[in-house]
Amino acid sequence: MSVPGCFDESFQRQFHQLLEARRDVRSFKSDPVPDAVVEELVAVTRLSPSVGFSQPWRFVRVDSTERREAVVASFERANAAALASYEGERAALYARLKLAGFREAPVHLAVFCDDATDTGKGLGAKTMPETRAFSTTMAIYTLWLAARARGIGVGWVSILDPREVERALDVPEGWRFIAYLCLGYPASYENTPELLRAGWEDVDPRSTHLTIR
C-alpha cells in the first residue's frame, strides 16, 4: 500500500482479474487437493464479515461415499423436477447443461448457518435474522475467491432439498443448509460464466444500473 488505506493499482488490476476468473466450476480434474489447503481455505473465512460478529458459518467436509451418494440422489430428484418444469427448446437446453461436478470433484464441502448460535448476542439480527445466512454466504465467497487465487475451482450446487441434505449429513439441531460446494482443480479455466456461454441467459443491465432516490 503506497497511499495509506489504498491498495496499489497493480493489485487492484489483479483483484479484478481474480473476480473475472472466479467461475462456478462443474468440470474438475480428479487430482486431489491437499487436506492442509482445504483447512487453510476454511481458516481464511475468519476474515469474513458477519452480522454482530456472529460468525455463524459451519463447514462440513463430506468424505463418506454413502453420504455423498445421498446428496447426489437429492440433486438427481431436484434436477429431474426442475427439468420437468421447462418446455421445448428450453427443456432441451436445460438437459444439456452440466450443473454439478459431484463425481470428479475430490472435495465436497457442505455449508450451514448456525441460526441457534449465541455468538454476537443477536446484535444486528433482531429485525433481519436472515443476515446470519447472508454472513454465511459471504464466508463461502471468501473461500471461493481464496481458492481461485490458488488455482482451485469451486462449484456451488443449490439444486438440492435442504432438509434432505441436513438429514443426510446428520448435522446438529439449528444448523440450516446454505450451500453444497464441490472443490477441485478445474478441467479448464474460463472467464465467462458457463450459463452465458451456453446461451441460457444474458447479462442483465438492471444489476448494474444505479437507481437514484
Q: Which of residues 9-68 bind a second copy (CB under 8 A)?
A: 11-12, 14-22, 24, 38-39, 42-64, 67
Using CB under 8 A, pick the residue from 65, 87, 173, 203 that binds a second copy. 203
Q: Cα dist. 114→58, 128, 169, 189 in Å?
A: 7, 15, 15, 34
Cβ atoms of 134 and 51 closer than 8 Å: yes
Q: CB neighbours of 152 closer than 8 A, spacing ≥ 6?
A: 33, 37, 41, 183, 184, 185
> Considering the rule CB under 8 A, would residue 89 count as an interface residue with a second copy?
no
Q: Which three cell numbers stand for residue 176?
A: 440450516
CB of 120 to a second copy, least distance (A): 5
Which residue, 103 or 139, has its beta carbon nearer to a second copy?
139
Q: CB neighbours of 123 closer than 8 A, spacing ≥ 6?
A: 51, 52, 53, 54
Using CB under 8 A, pick the residue from 131, 181, 182, 184 that binds a second copy. 131
> What residues numbered 168-187 form the site for a second copy, per CB under 8 A?
169-171, 178-179, 185-186
Using CB under 8 A, pick the residue from 37, 72, 78, 106 that binds a second copy. 78
What is the C-alpha to C-alpha distance for residues 146 and 104, in angstroms, rounded to an integer?
21
CB of 73 to a second copy, least distance (A): 14
> What residues numbered 134-153 form the site for a second copy, per CB under 8 A?
134, 137-139, 141-142, 144-146, 148-151
